[in-house]
Structure formats: C-alpha cells, structure tokens
Chain A
Amino acid sequence: MGRYVFKLPDVGEGTAEAELVAWHVKVGDAVEEDQPLADVMTEKATVEITSPVAGKVMELNGAPGEMSPIGSTLVVFEVEGAGEPAKTNGHGKSSGNGQEKAPPIAVAAPPPKAKEAQRPALHAVAAAPAVANRTEESDKPLASPAVRARARELGVELQFVPGTGPAARITHEDLDAFITGARAKGPSPGVARIARSGTEEVKVIGLRRKIAEKMQEAKRRIPHFAYVEEVDVTELEDLRKHLNETKTADQPRLTLLPFIIRALCEVLPRFPQINATFDDEAGIVTRHAAVHAGIATQTAGGLIVPVLRNAEAKDLWECAAEITRLAAAARDGKASRDELSGSTITITSLGPLGGLVTTPIINHPEVAIIGPNKIVERPIVRDGAIAVRKMMNVSSSYDHRVVDGYDAADFIQRVKAVLEHPALLFMGR
C-alpha cells in the first residue's frame, strides 16, 4: 500500500486559487480512477475534479466555501503499490518524498448543517406507526380490494399509508386517518395557527458568493443613475407575432429580447460612451466597436450572464437562436469561460415578471445596463382619442462618472424610436 498525494491542479488560465464548492467523496471511500472528487470554482466556471488514481480516500483538505491555492494538497489516497510522490508544483512545498505531504490548507470544521426547525406540534397528531418493514412479497401494500379501490378514487398511494391491521394490513380506518392527517397538515381554515421557531443558516458559497462579490463591487464603485421611459410596442408585437406565425420549422421562436438587442445595435454606434467598459483604477474608458451583449440569466444556482458576441453582426433569427443556446448552456452549467465573460453592455429582462420599473445594477466594468419591463395593454391618448396600446417601460442604469444624463436620455429616446417604428430595425443607417 502506498500513499498518493493529489494536489489541486491548475483549473483556469492563470488563476492562483480556486474555491472548493462541494466534495463528492468522503474519507474512507473507495474511488475509481476518473470518479468525481470535488467541484471547485474559479472566476467564472465551476470545474469538476476527478480522481487520477483508484484507491481509498485517506484525507480531504478544505471545506466547501474555502479558497484553496493551486498546487495545495486536495486529497490523499491509499493506493495499491508504492504510491507516487507528491508532485511539486504551484504552492506545494513538498520535499519530493511521497511520505511527506505538502502543507495542507487549514482544515475547517464542516459547515454547520442547516438547523432543523422545530416541527409544529400538529405533526404529532398525524404521526402514525412506522410503515411495517415490507418484504418483496408485500411490495404491494396489503389491503382489501375495497380499500384499494377507495384509495385510488381518493388519489392516495397506499404505500404511504401505515397499516394497523394484522401483517400491517391497511384498513378503512387507516385510510381515514391518513386522509384526515394529510388534511390537517395543509393550511385549511379552522385549523389553529401555530407559531414557528428555529432558524436556518445558509453559507454563502460558490456562485452565490460570486454574485454577492460582484454586486457589492458594482454598487460600491459605480454612482448609478436610472432612467425610465415608456415605449409603445404595439407594432413591434404585431411584427413579432407575424414572424412567429410564419417562421419555418427550423427558425427559433422569437421573444422580445432579440428585437431589443437589434435596436441597441442600431443605436449604440452613435453613443460610444455607453457601449464601453471603465477601468476606474487606470482611469481609462474603453469604447467597443463590437456589441457583446450580456444576457442576465436566472439559473438554479443563481444569476449568470452569458454573452452574445458580436450582436451587431447577427440578424434577428441568429440573435434568437444564440440567446436560446446560451441560456440553456448557462442553466445546464455547460457555458464555457469565454461565453461567460467579455460583455460590453448587459440586458436584464424579467419577462412577464418584469414589473413597472427596475433599477438594475451595472455589470461592472460596463457602464450601462438595460432592463425592459413588462408589456401591458394600456389606454393611451393618441391624436386626441383614447386608444388601447401595448406599452412597455424600459428601465436603464448608467455609470454617471462617464455617462451624462443627457446622453443616456438621448440614447433611450432613439432606442424607443426604433422599437416604435420597427421598420427602422432593418433599414440600416
């Protein structure tokens, strides 16, 4: 038996450290070669670390949420044969002797488990004898045909009903008790309200920590100002509906987003100070010829901003297809590092949840962010008469250090003009 010291490999270009997000093994586990050991996260991407050897896990270094230097010892295995000396790279100060491991980073206590809130007293009422240990023959719950039929009609799965009869047979009374118990658990009127106690501590790690850091950075550094204008999208919506109805099978379904991106691409060349990034430490604003549109995307883990590159060179359908692909990649955790960085302006849309007005936080180091709100039909006075029109607010925030209010207002008014006269989307200048 030998020891094999596995050090955290370089997982991203030039990153000095990575955050440990989750362990997939525990001490004592036997692992196969290429079996996932841990997830670590660098600037943008989460990387799965797999085992280089087959062996038994002797030691794990680091707790989820901690930063580990590249080259520090991650896992120590017991392996067949003589083992392998720890590789000396990165920060590891190994002597080259396999028996001596590189200095591990401090092993923190495991994160406090979410403290279970005390159960409301009501549960005790519904608590029933444990379901009998059912062996293979009684995988089917034991109940008379009448009880089975009644359970079906009630939509109750009998395997969840504890039986009190001989051989754990489920009786009509058991079914009654289960139903009333299930009802008592629900928030039905007439049931006494019970005060709850207990708290839950959730460690801010992984993507959530990244989001927290980015938001904090943007809000602290950037003096935001917001500007909101309403846009009549009746004609744009008519066009969108028509395109969706007449599109070919291989064309993607169009949401409003590609239209807005097209409008930005039409207008932004006149406003180079808005399609820009600001390195405030160097005091340099970089104005971008290309429009790399960040698309704020909600995923199960939290907010991610994949980037639609060179939006100015893509037509409506290409934009739509690329947005769909990026959103799916982000949600599946498959977006590459390149797809998650390099945006020059960001769009954040909540779709039908869009509300009246938002005050979005700028995606630092960008200088502007556009947040379309919800489309609603509203009575509008047009030419002295009231008309029902589809109206949408467009909220936007700017870095006031480098974007003046006048320019931002002018920018949004031109975007509004394009959106209200959709032909302008396709005319070029």
Chain B
Amino acid sequence: MTEKLQCQVLVVGAGPGGYVAAIRAGQLGLDAIIVEESRLGGTCLIRGCIPSKALIHVASEFRAMEEKVGKGHAGISLKAAPALDMAETVRWKEGVVDTLNSGVGALLKRAKVRVVEGRAKFSDAKTCIVGKTEIVAENVILAAGSLPVELPFLKFGGDVISSTEALSLKELPKRLAIVGAGYIGLELGIAFRKFGVDVTVVEAEKQILPLFDAELVAPVKKWLDANKVSVLLGARAKGAEKGALVVETAEGKPQSIPADKILVTVGRRPNTEGWGLENMAVDMAKETGGRFIKTDDRCRTSMRGVYAIGDLVGEPMLAHKASAQGEMVAEIIAGSDRRFEPRSIPAICFTEPEIVSVGLSPSEAKTRGQEILSASFPFAANGRSLSMGAREGFVRIVARKSDHLVLGVQAVGAHVSELSAEFAHAIEMGAVLEDVAGTIHAHPTLSEAFHESALRALGHAIHI
C-alpha cells in the first residue's frame, strides 16, 4: 500500500445517491471521501436519466420539424426534410453530460469532499481498497447503484445492446427491436421512432408499462399505434439470430423480427457483486430474495456504521429517492434523528406523451380499503395545452372520501413531468381537496388542470 487514508464518511458510488450524501456530509463539516470507478454522476447523469432526456429532446425537435415539411403546420413549412447527423447529436448530448459532470465535481470540491477514482473493494466493513489506496472509515455509505439486467439468451455485445449503448449510437439503426416495454424501453423506443427508425417492442406482460394503469397508458398506446410502432404483447424473446430477434408470440408461435440492433431493457438489478460486499457482514433483505441490501428506516444496514441507499436497497430504483436517502444519511451521521418516511415518491415516464404518478392510483387506494373520490380533468379543456398543440391526456386526483385527504395524483400529457412537483408537494403536506381547490393556479398553465380535477372531485369543476 502506498497510501492510507482515514475519514469520517466514506461514500462508495458517485451517483445521485452517493454524491448528494457526500456533499451534505461535507456541508455538515464531516470529513468525507467519495469513491467512483467511472465518472462523477453515476448512471443517472452519465448513462441514464440525463442523456436519455437529451436524446428524447432532440428526437422531439426532429419530429416537429419533419411535421412541417411540405404543407407545414400552423403556418410554418419547410421546403426540404431535416437532416440528422446522429454522431453530432450524441456529441451534443455528451456536452450536456460533461457540463453536469464537471458541476458535480465542483460541488464536491466546494464541500471539501475528497474524490478517489477507482474501483472500491472492501476487505472488511470499514476498510476499502481502491487501487493502491487503503481507506479506513468511521462510517460507510454504500451507493453502488444498479446495472441493466442481462438475459442469458440475449447477452450484451455486438448488436445486442443495453440502454447505455443505445444512448451512444453513432449511427441510427434502420430497424430496432426492443425487449421489454417498461419505461426505459418505451422512452428510448419512442425517441428512435421519432428519428425515423422502425421500432418493434416485445413485452411478456399483457400491457405496456405494466406499472401504470390502463387509463394512464392509453394515450401512449395511441401514439405508438398512430406512429406504427409494432408492439407484441405476451411475447417472449428467445434469442438473436443474424439480423433478427427471435420471439415466441402470445400464441406460442416462433416469430423472427428483423432488427439491426436489439435493445434489451428488462429491468435493472442492484449492483451488489464484485466490490467486497460479502466481506462486510451486511445482511441482505430476505423478502426480496436477497437481491437488495437490508436496511431500516434510517438506511442502516445490519453492520454498525454502514448505511446503504438508492438502488441497492430496493424499489423504486429512482434517482430522487436515492438523493433523499443520501441527504438523510449524511444528517444522521452528523447526529440528527431522521427517518426515511416519505408519503410518496413520484414516478415519471418520459414517453410520448409523458406520464406522472404520485401516491395511490384509484385501484391501489381501493385495494387498501379506502373509500375514495376520484376525478380527472382532460387537457383537451385546458387552454395552455391546446395553445401548445397538445390535446391528449388528463390530470386525475384521488382523495379519501371521508376527509378529502389527497392520496394520489396521476397525469398523462405533454410536459406533465413538470407538474409532478405540485402533486408530490400536495401529498407530502397532507393537502385535502379544498387546499388544492383554494390555491390560485396561474393562467394559462397546465397546472390549471390539477386545480380543476380537485374542483371536479368536489363536484364543481368550472371548465367542464
């Protein structure tokens, strides 16, 4: 060993969980070290949320311009079709990523967090080897994130790619087959379709986006149909052959889907192997079949002074959950009494159109024995939506019948992702329908649809 470091807080993994934990620890005056083998920012920033949204943005712009070719739209017309240089698109996306990546570096530096580059390997719960450096820590925050799930019969490599490679393709494939119609597969599939790629989606379940209810998914389904994205439901991928994906259809028949690239997006798994977790005497959560690390409501593992956050500790595997846990754990280490007890964790799907779900859906609420009031307000009756040329979707509110407590809010429509904040805020503050109804919502905005949904649940919507 050439170097021996000591610290109060060692964070392993510089994704949205880890780097937030490290910055907060630094702010609180704790001596913190963060270890990252790749680039600061983790999956989210480097090969997940951010690059995919950049790509989706470019795809939408490209599609909008294509729609203006010839006859045009709303008075704009283009004489020729727009040209796409995918390599340049990817370079632009990398620029966005680089900006944020260096921003994280600057924030860590300002919080006086030491960054150690390399792969962490724990020899025991408080000792971590990174290359030739040995780090001994008083407290450890595990934030190693997750990895794309690989199918044994469709191993990554060559034309079989994961979301990581899909975000860095230098050339567009002509035909793309996607295995798994979850949010990652559909977000990317829709973006590639907007770029003009022939997209086929294969899903083993009977519904696309199985985590959302049919009403919310319907506008997305409509877009997929209108844009000739083939969706094979109840079909199982079997393997790849030259230039094609082989599936077994719902009827049990083999089918060959011609594809230049096969994108496998069948989920993510916690990254629990290859970095010495087994040397740390940390228990795994039995109820998850030992996939996730077992933690309590303070993100404490079974080993004293070792915390785990984010994708390592369970669903939902979302960046904002990891960040909230990271911030909390830093404060706990600094001596505060805090618990991870959110009333809701918002989930967003950046499909076309976008889907937001916060809290309980009507059927979830009913399953839990709640008597509910539920009402939705369509964007077709919202001025701002129409003025943006969008009329699909709605906002739906779910409240407890007895006292009007807002239990959940869902929405589908253009740009509804930005409404998620108000939904989550209402639930987290314990708002009742009258609170939402009594808040003046600026006109003309999409948020008026939320206001109107609460009014409608109370029986007196104005604009419908």
Contact = CB atoms under 8 A, between A and B. Distances in A.
B341 A166 contact: no
A352 interface: no
Interface stretch (B134-142, B151-159, B242-250, B397-405): B397-405
Interface stretch (A144-152, A261-269, A305-313): A144-152
A137 B407 contact: yes
Given A166-B435, A167-B404, 12 more contacts: A137-B368, A140-B343, A142-B405, A142-B430, A144-B429, A145-B428, A152-B336, A155-B337, A166-B430, A166-B432, A167-B400, A167-B432
Interface string A77-92: 0000000000000000
Contacts of A149: 338
A153 interface: yes
Contact of A167 (B337, B339, B430): B430
A136 interface: yes
A167 B432 CA distance: 7
Contacts of B54: none
20 contacts: A135-B369, A135-B400, A136-B368, A136-B369, A137-B368, A137-B400, A137-B407, A138-B405, A142-B430, A145-B428, A149-B338, A152-B338, A166-B403, A166-B405, A166-B430, A166-B432, A167-B400, A167-B403, A167-B404, A167-B405
Contacts of A169: 430, 432
Interface in A91-125: none
B365 interface: yes
B338 A166 contact: no
B430 A152 contact: no
A141 to B, nearest CB: 9
B370 interface: yes
Contact of A143 (B403, B405, B430): B430
A302 interface: no
A159 to B, nearest CB: 12
B260 interface: no
Interface in B44-89: none
Interface residues of B, number: 22
Interface of B: 336-339, 341, 343, 360, 365, 368-370, 400, 403-405, 407, 428-430, 432, 434-435
B407 to A, nearest CB: 6
B155 to A, nearest CB: 44
A140 B407 CA distance: 13
A105 to B, nearest CB: 50
Chain A, interface residues (CB within 8 Å), range:
20 to 34
Query: Which residue, B369, B403, B404, B428, has most C-beta atoms of chain A within 10 A?
Result: B403
Contacts of B338: 149, 152
Contacts of B434: 166
A144 B400 CA distance: 18
A138 B343 CA distance: 9
- Give the 4 A-B CB pairs with smallest separation, nearest first: A167-B403, A167-B405, A169-B430, A142-B430
Contacts of B369: 135-136
B327 to A, nearest CB: 12
Contacts of A138: 405
Contact of B370 (A135, A144, A168): A135
A377 to B, nearest CB: 38
A52 interface: no
A165 interface: yes
Contacts of A168: 403
- Chain B binding site: helix, strand, loop or mixed by DSSP? loop
A155 B339 CA distance: 12
Nearest to A168: B403
Nearest to A146: B429
A169 B428 CA distance: 11
A148 B297 CA distance: 14
Interface in A135-190: 135-138, 140, 142-145, 148-149, 152-153, 155, 165-169
B324 to A, nearest CB: 10
A145 B338 CA distance: 11
Contact of A152 (B337, B365, B432, B435): B337
Contacts of A166: 403-405, 430, 432, 434-435
Interface in A350-366: none
Contacts of B336: 152-153
A132 B400 CA distance: 14
Given A152-B337, A155-B337, A144 B428 contact: yes
A162 to B, nearest CB: 14
Contacts of A136: 368-370
Query: Which residue, A140, A148, A153, A165, has most C-beta atoms of chain B within 10 A?
Result: A148
Contact of B337 (A142, A145, A153): A153
A155 B341 CA distance: 16
A174 to B, nearest CB: 12
Contact of A137 (B370, B404, B428, B429): B370
Contacts of A155: 337
Contacts of B405: 137-138, 142, 166-167
A32 B360 CA distance: 43
Nearest to B338: A152
Nearest to B428: A145
B346 to A, nearest CB: 14
B449 to A, nearest CB: 23
A299 to B, nearest CB: 35
A199 B27 CA distance: 58
B424 to A, nearest CB: 11
A144 B337 contact: no
A137 B430 contact: no
Nearest to B359: A137
B171 to A, nearest CB: 47
B372 to A, nearest CB: 10
A167 B407 CA distance: 11
Nearest to A145: B428
A165 B430 CA distance: 9
A140 B341 contact: yes
A146 to B, nearest CB: 9
A327 B405 CA distance: 56
B428 to A, nearest CB: 6
Contacts of B365: 137
Nearest to A155: B337
A90 to B, nearest CB: 55
B244 to A, nearest CB: 49
B342 to A, nearest CB: 8
A152 B339 CA distance: 8
A351 to B, nearest CB: 33
A33 B183 CA distance: 57
A143 B342 CA distance: 11
A141 B215 CA distance: 31
Contacts of B430: 142-144, 165-167, 169
A148 B341 CA distance: 9
A138 B338 CA distance: 19
Nearest to B434: A166
A155 B400 CA distance: 30
Contacts of A152: 336-339
A165 B435 CA distance: 11
Nearest to B372: A137
A148 B360 CA distance: 21
A186 B337 CA distance: 24
A169 B360 CA distance: 18
A419 to B, nearest CB: 45
Query: Which residue, A140, A144, A155, has most C-beta atoms of chain B within 10 A?
Result: A144
A145 B337 CA distance: 14
A204 B170 CA distance: 90
A144 B370 CA distance: 21
A155 B338 CA distance: 10
A149 B343 CA distance: 14
